[in-house]
Structure 1
Amino acid sequence: MNRRTFLKDICVGAVTLSGLPGIYAATKPRNSKPNFVIIFTDDQGYGDLGCYGSETIRSPRLDGLAKEGTRFTDFYAQPVCGPSRSALLTGRYPVRSQGWSMPESEITLAELLKTAGYTTGCIGKWDVSNRRDIKGRIPNDQGFDYYWGTLGANDGGAVRLYDNRESIGVDRDMAGLTKRYTDKGIEFLKANKDKPFLLYLAHTMAHSVIDATPRFKGKSKGGLYSDVIEELDYHTGRLLDAIDELGLRDNTLVIFTTDNGPWNNMQEPLRKKHKGAVAWGSSGPLREGKGSTWEGGVRVPCIVRWPGHVPAARVSNAIFSTVDFMPTFAKLAGYMVPTDRIIDGVDQTELLLGKNEQGARDHFYYLCRNELHGVRKGKWKLLLEDRKNYYGYVKDTGSKEKELYNLESDIGEKHNLTKQHPEIVEEMLELIKAFQWPAKLPDTAIVPRKKKGR
């Protein structure tokens, strides 16, 4: 079954189910379905918010969001940006959803929400169409009714902006992007306040070439990077205020998270780009950063608020991931999860609503490009021997042997316990063997390699 056939079938199924008692979609009035707002920052480290231990970043709005909702301490994205985005959008590890090369055949949560009557908007960084305008693979072709943002990154200090399908020019004002994206997000909220919606707001900051406006520049304790995060916090507050002012607070599930760990392993190149300024974040107590499968590369901040549903002032250490969004939203919005492909995400509704403190996720796989580096189950994390380092900026390559860590007592991955717990190693290796590989591995380049002879 192809993507179009599946989406057509579930639309018919949704209409059929709407006439049956006992079905979630049938028993909920249309306006009682929760709205979804995903705020997705870039290259923000685990230690880069006050509520996650930062002493140099003031983040009163996000700290407040954590008090109003649940803060997750063991939340996982992917090692780098494109793969992290395809995983979030599809509920599938990048080895299936293909990261920067996410194909038209993938089914996104936006497409699925549309089958349940939602209006969908994407603002900001897309980064799953090889950073180009490719028919079938841009936001408007992947389930989003409205798009305003850039299809790629800002590595050269500029972004090409699109208003839906139309290119509207190049923007070199990196300091102003966070405000512009937030303004567009607020416009989307105002235009769609009377119907269920998804807003996916994917910020360019704090990736590669960063900057802050005069109101924030030089005002933090931690240099330029901290200035940028404090400005992100402020504009996130503006978005939250708009949700309140529009009367949407009680019926909107807000998620704040980021795409991968900080680029703290690229300090000298980033320093040169920024005239000596500190332009990278902190992994806090975690090992390494972006591009790695150490905790610092993939474990990131995540805060979820839904008043009256998600418990307030709660801290959860359940294993949770961006791949879980799609099946979780299915339960909350009333759409069908695709059955024609492997879905790596699990329904975490019970975890979010405080009905199950452990969550539905038994284990989580650590993948980098097309290689399986390890697995976590409970407090245990096993990394395999001879893992390939795909990103030259990652300096910490480990021992080249199997490594077992107790993340409950050793969050910094300092003490390899393979010799003390051989039985745990064997159990974890069985999980490694059980991973279901796709029939064909994807091209993992940001821009596809040209085939010989062409």
Structure 2
Amino acid sequence: MSQSVRFACSTGSLLLFLLVSALNAAEQPNILIVFTDDQGYADLACYGNETNKTPRLDQLATEGTRFTSFYSQTVCGPSRSALLTGRQPLRSKGWGMPASEITFAELIRWSGYQTACIGKWDVSNRKAILDRMPNAQGFDYYFGTLGANDGGNVRFHENNEPAGATDDMGSLTTLYTDKAIEYLKDKRDPDKPFVLYLAHTMMHTIIDASDRFRGKSAGGLYGDVVEEFDYETGRLLDVIDDLGLRQDTLVIYTSDNGPWNQPKYTDRKKGHPDGSIFWGQSGPLRNGKGSCYEGGYRLPCIVRWPGKVPAGRVSDAIFATIDFMPTFAHLAGFEVPSDRRIDGIDQTDLLLGNRETGREHFYYNNAGVRQGDWKYLKADAFFHGYAVEDDRKKVEELYNLKSDLGEQTNLAAEHPEKVAELNALMRKIEGNDPPATSPIQIK
């Protein structure tokens, strides 16, 4: 089922960007996004974990740039709508992302790309609503589950058709990797660039590993899952190499939100395998999934594009999933919509090492804002229930993340002018969209 893609531009500018796209086609990278679920900032060895063995992702970090101030969102659906649209969840609506939202997949096809999504979708209210499913939102091919695995069972769709179900959670990481490999080898047109968005179910809630990895790590079942994910990502990257795609492929690895690491969740867990403790690592960051502290939003992110993205580099520049849309626009040669507010910025120069600075600020949904080293949270900052810290006083908070990454010392009383400045910035970000500017219809 096709969807009308609406964005404001003149006929002349449309023809111009199509011409520029054709001229620059040889420079367009393939794009592979590996998006894991609920994996904490410090689950990988290259981010400080001393228990989990993650040699393939550590290798990816040495081959590319590892970002240490990268932001997604604090829960699943909002994270995915932000990534797909370049818009904060207060605009892109998270699990309830409407069909009228425009994804990077819809736009990049106008630059000659083929598009595929494999894995967890989670922006159509976990239902088979056709005009909000992947095929209608710009993806030529889809295989995966429309929601999460909270009940220990997932139901698959291939494109718009039901494609079976499973309660074997330990099979999912391999299954999705197999489907990604099948797409690369058998389904795509080798003469066209591609976007492959691989959104894993692990490490979400009812975790499990295959027999090959279960019981093998030093980190319990969660460690088994982390190490299997590392292995399977390596297997996919090997296929990229085998197909001769390494030099021409921009690889992005990141996660959707921080880990479920709060007693309020783990003490009430139901349906988990015997002996499992769902406890990802936030490292030096405070709290985890569902929180507006750094452990909820700040995630690992590794980017590789040989000869383009500097290898062995570590960057603390502020970067976020909302930046993917405008960055892909630059790299692939399409225009971002001008009839709505796009919160992301073009980070091409940051990725390519032409500048060391990133975003000036990042917004925490219904909670606060970071600008430079300063982070502000309003008194009634939103936390999901399991992430609420019972001893947190409902007062404005101000932290200097450079000197206090763990957000332990509230400086609001000492810097009222900074509190007022950041509160005003937060409210400006939360403002309404600009009016539409005579959009035209593009089929």
TM-score using structure 2 length: 0.93
Query: What does the per-residue CA deviation read over 1:38-68, in whole Å, with 9 as the maximum and x for residues that have no partner?
Result: 0000000001000000111100000000000
Query: Is residue 269 from structure 1 mapped to residue 264 from structure 2 by the alignment?
Result: no
Mapped partners of 1:390, 1:268: distance in 2: 16
Where do 4+ consecutive residues of structure 1 move more than 6 Å? 8-12
Residue 93 of structure 2 aligns with an amino acid whose one-letter code is: Q
Q: How does 1:230-309 map to 2 (within 5 A)?
A: 230-265=227-262, 266-270=265-269, 273-309=272-308
Query: Is residue 352 from structure 1 mapped to residue 351 from structure 2 by the alignment?
Result: yes
Query: What does the per-residue CA deviation read over 1:103-143, in whole Å, with 9 as the maximum and x for residues that have no partner?
Result: 00000010011111100000000000000000200001100
Secondary structure of the structure 1 residue equivalent to 2:79: helix
- In structure 1, the gaps of 5 or more residues are 440-454
1:70 aligned residue:
65
Secondary structure of the structure 1 residue equivalent to 2:219: coil
Change (3 A) 1:179 1:322: same
Query: What does the per-residue CA deviation read over 1:141-176, in whole Å, with 9 as the maximum and x for residues that have no partner?
Result: 100000000001101101001111110111111111
Aligned match for 2:206, one of 209, 216, 225: 209
Mapped partners of 2:281, 2:255: distance in 1: 13
Secondary structure of the structure 2 residue equivalent to 1:74: strand
Q: How does 1:401-416 map to 2 (within 5 A)?
A: 401-416=395-410
Residue 172 of structure 1 aligns with an amino acid whose one-letter code is: D
Q: Is the 8 A contact 1:389 1:397 kept in 2?
A: no
1:395 aligned residue:
389
Q: Is the 8 A contact 1:271 1:279 kept in 2?
A: no
Percent identity between the aligned chains? 60
1:85 aligned residue:
80
Residue 365 of structure 1 aligns with an amino acid whose one-letter code is: Y
Q: Is the 8 A contact 1:37 1:198 kept in 2?
A: yes
CA positional deviation for 1:14 = 4.7
Mapped partners of 2:96, 2:374: distance in 1: 32
What CA RMSD, in Å, does the superposition of the two structures yield over aligned residues?
Answer: 1.9
Change (3 A) 1:393 1:317: closer
CA positional deviation for 1:16 = 4.0
Mapped partners of 2:4, 2:270: distance in 1: 47
Query: What does the per-residue CA deviation read over 1:151-205, in whole Å, with 9 as the maximum and x for residues that have no partner?
Result: 0110110100111111011111111110110011111112323310000000000
2:437 aligned residue:
none
Residue 142 of structure 1 aligns with an amino acid whose one-letter code is: Q
Mapped partners of 1:186, 1:269: distance in 2: 37
1:422 aligned residue:
416
CA positional deviation for 1:10 = 8.2
Q: How does 1:40-439 map to 2 (within 5 A)?
A: 40-190=35-185, 191-192=187-188, 193-265=190-262, 266-270=265-269, 273-359=272-358, 361-367=359-365, 372-395=366-389, 398-438=392-432
Residue 340 of structure 2 aligns with an amino acid whose one-letter code is: R
Q: Is the 8 A contact 2:119 2:145 kept in 1?
A: yes
Secondary structure of the structure 2 residue equivalent to 1:123: strand
Secondary structure of the structure 2 residue equivalent to 1:300: strand
Secondary structure of the structure 2 residue equivalent to 1:241: helix
CA positional deviation for 1:214 = 1.4
- In structure 2, the gaps of 5 or more residues are 434-443
Mapped partners of 1:12, 1:118: distance in 2: 22
Mapped partners of 1:255, 1:64: distance in 2: 14
Residue 383 of structure 2 aligns with an amino acid whose one-letter code is: N
